[in-house]
Amino acid sequence: MTLYLKFDFNAICKKILEDTLKAHNIKHKIIGFGEVDIQEKLVPEKLESLTESLNEYHIEIVENQKSILVQKIKDTIIDMIFNEDTIVNVKTSAYLADTLEHSYGYLSNLFSEVTYTSIENFIILQKIEYAKQLIINDNFSLTEIAFKLNYSSVAHLSTQFKNTTGITPSAFQRIIMKRREINQQK
């Protein structure tokens, strides 16, 4: 039997952080996506134990200032794309600059320096991942998905989807439907 799941990345990450910090008896407050205020001094052993526990979920503590800002850029982009409550009708560059209080030029250069890719490429990858989730989990048409992800047209979405995954969104939909049919016959 195959189960099809729908999940919220933000809620999952928050739950993992809450559970892990509670398991280590660490007083904390989750400020936002990817940001936790530790309300006590951590001894090195406790910090090391917390780090190991978080690493099991591929969550790492960022300590370098440049890396922290790059992580904030990623978190802001992910929140902008995946969070249905965040409706952004402004340009991404203006949104990032306003949200992170740095010029977009600085953010873009720093992001490229640290990750060896551009903010634009990261945004495209995140949008395509979200489009795949919407195709798999929901019954949205490609037109609705293109609109939801702020694409100018279905053709624009299809082009970026194919350039990123190697197949068109329509072909991806057919593959998912075929897998469901096969699994239902079992």
* Contacting residues for 154 by C-beta, under 8 A, at least 6 apart: 142, 143, 146
111 with 73: CB under 8 angstroms? yes
pLDDT value at 159 more than 60: yes
**What number of residues does the chain have?**
186
130 with 81: CB under 8 angstroms? yes
Rounded to 10 deg, the angle between the 65-82 and 119-137 helix axes is 40
Residue matched to tokens 């052993």: 45
Q: What is the pLDDT of residues 54-113, one digit of tens each?
A: 889 888 887 778 888 898 999 899 888 887 665 556 688 888 999 899 999 999 999 999
- Six token digits for residue 62: 């960022």
pTM: 0.68
Alpha-carbon distance of 154 to 46, in angstroms, equals 50
